[in-house]
Amino acid sequence: MEIGSDDKRHGLRLLIISADKYPPFRVDVSVLFGRELASRGHTIDWILQSGAPCERAQRTQWGGGTAWVAPANSGTSRFARLMKHCQGILHDMRTLWRVRSQHYDIIQVKDKFISALPAWWAARRRGSRFVYWLAYPYPEASIHAVRDGTARYPLLYLLRGWIQKVLLYRIILPVADHVFVQSEQMKVDVCQNGIDPKKVSPVPMGISLEMFPDQPAGATASAEPRIVYLGTLVRVRRLEFLLRVLERVARSVPEVKLYFIGEGDAPEDRHALEEEAKRMGLEDRVVFTGRLPQDEALRLTATAKVCVSPFYPTPILNSTSPTKLMEYMALGRPVVANDHPEQRLVIQQSGGGLCVRYDEDEFAQAIEYLLDHPQEAEEMGAKGQQFVRRHRTYAHIADFVEEKYLLCVGSSNSRGKTAKKGPGTTAAPERVPLE
C-alpha cells in the first residue's frame, strides 16, 4: 500500500474498538475521527456498543466506514451492568472474527482492556499495526476511588483496578506499536510503568470550530455576575469546593450566581451537591441545569461573566486534558482555573484567564478580581479565544494524529509532505504543539 505519493491520495484503513457508546458524542471521537480523519480519505470501521437500549447487534454506516454496534440493556443494577459489559466483550470478539478476512493497516483499541487482547492477536495475525488510545487512567482511578472512599462498590472497584493495571502495563502497552495518551502528564505517568516514551504521544483535547459561533468575546455575556461550571458532577471532582468559593464571593458580590451545567454518573452525585447548597443556605444562588444538549449547554456557558475549572489535585485528575477549559476559551470567556499541569500551561501560553492554587480563598479572590475588572476580563477572554482557534482545533490535532499513523505503518510523510508542526511551534513531533 503506497502512502504519500505526490500524485495520489491513498487512505489508511483503520478498525477502532472503543469504549465510547454509539453514536459517540465526545468530540475527540466524533469530530477528530468521524469528521477530520475520515474526510482525508481514510476508511475507519468501528466496533462499539449501543448507548441506548438495544436488543440486537446492528451494522450501520458511521464515522468514515462501517460501525458494528453491540446490543445493550437499560438496567442499572450491578447484574445488569455486568451483563451489558459481557455483551460488549462478546460482540468485540465476534466482530473481530467476522472481519478476519479484511485487511486493516491499523487496529486501534480505546479504553478497553479485555478486548485489547484479541485485538492485538488479530493485528499480529493480519500484519496490522496495533495502537492503543488511553483517554483516562482507569486502573488508577478505580484504585484511588477505593482509597478515598468514593467507590460505590469498593471490593469490585479494587479488583477491577488491579486487573486493568496488570493488563494495561504488563501486556497491552508493551506490545502496542504506538500509544496515544491525553496529556504530557499522562505520558510521564505511563512511562513510569516501563513503557518506551518513544512510542507514546500525548493528544490533548480540542474543539470543533463549527460548534462555536464566530463572534467577539463577551458578545453574549449576561448582565448579572454569573459564574459557570460546565462538565460532570461526579463525586471525584469534589465540587463542594465551588460552593465554598461561592459563599466567599457572595460576601462582596451579593447578586452573584453559580450555574452547574452537567450531570453526574449517578443521581446521588447531583443530589449531594444540592443538599450541600441547601445546608449552606446557597440554594437561591445556585442553578443546576442537568444534562443539556451540547449546543444549548454552550449557549448558556457563553452568558457567563467568569467560567471556572477546578480540578481536585490528585494524580488521577492531574493527567487529564480538560475539555471544559478549551470550550470556555473558544467561547471567549475568561477563566479561573487551579494549578493543574495542562491548565497551567494553557493559561500561561494563552493569557486566557487566571491560574491559582486549589484554595477556596485564592479561587474566590480571582473570581472577584475578574468581576471587578470587566474590561481586563474580556481581554483575557479574547486572548483565550484566539489561542484555541489557532492551536487547539481538531483540524490541527488531526494533522498530528495522521502523521503518527503514517509513521506507524512505515511512511515518514503524509501525501508527499514531511511531518507537520503547529504554527509557531518548536516542540518535538511527539506531542501536539500548544504554541
Question: Beta strand pairing status for 13-22 and 106-110?
Answer: parallel
Residue written as cell 488511553? Answer: 134
**Percent helix / strand / coil, the chain, rounded to 5:** 45, 20, 35
Question: Beta strand pairing status for 286-290 and 306-309?
Answer: unpaired
> Which residues are CB-neighbours of 381 under 8 A, at least 6 positions away?
217, 218, 329, 331, 332, 333, 334, 352
**For domain 209-391, which architecture applies?**
3-Layer(aba) Sandwich (3.40)
Number of Cβ atoms within 10 Å of the Cβ of 313: 14
Name the grid cell of 133. Answer: 488510545
Q: Provide the pLDDT for residue 216.
A: 66
List the chain domain ranges: 13-135+176-206+393-418, 209-391
Q: Provide the pLDDT for residue 256.
A: 97
Encode pLDDT of 155-210 as tens digits: 999 999 999 999 999 999 999 999 999 999 999 999 999 999 999 999 999 999 88
DSSP string computed for 200-239: EEE----B-GGGS----TTTT--SS-EEEEES---GGG-T
Beta bridge partners of 106: 14, 129
* pTM of the predicted model as reported, rounded to 2 decimal places: 0.83
Q: Provide the pLDDT for residue 218.
A: 63
Encode pLDDT of 385-426 as tens digits: 999 999 999 999 999 999 999 999 984 333 344 334 333 333
Q: Provide the pLDDT for residue 217.
A: 65
Q: Provide the pLDDT for residue 23.
A: 94
CB 300 within 8 A of CB 224: no
Distances (CA, A) of 239 to 131, 196, 242, 420: 35, 36, 5, 40
Q: Provide the pLDDT for residue 81.
A: 87
Among residues 67, 70, 44, 66, the alpha carbon closest in space to that of 57 is found at 70
Q: Provide the pLDDT for residue 3.
A: 39
Q: Provide the pLDDT for residue 426.
A: 30
Q: Judge whether 13-135+176-206+393-418 and 209-391 match in fold.
A: yes
3-class DSSP string for 233-283: CCHHHCCHHHHHHHHHHHHHCCCCEEEEEECCCCHHHHHHHHHHHHHCCCC
Q: What is the CATH number of domain 13-135+176-206+393-418?
A: 3.40.50.2000
3-class DSSP string for 339-391: CCHHHHHHHHHHCCEEEECCCHHHHHHHHHHHHHCHHHHHHHHHHHHHHHHHH
Q: Provide the pLDDT for residue 270.
A: 94
Which residue positions in the chain have pLDDT lower than 50? 1-9, 411-431, 433-435
The angle formed by the CA atoms of residues 380, 36 and 58, to the nearest 5 degrees, is 125
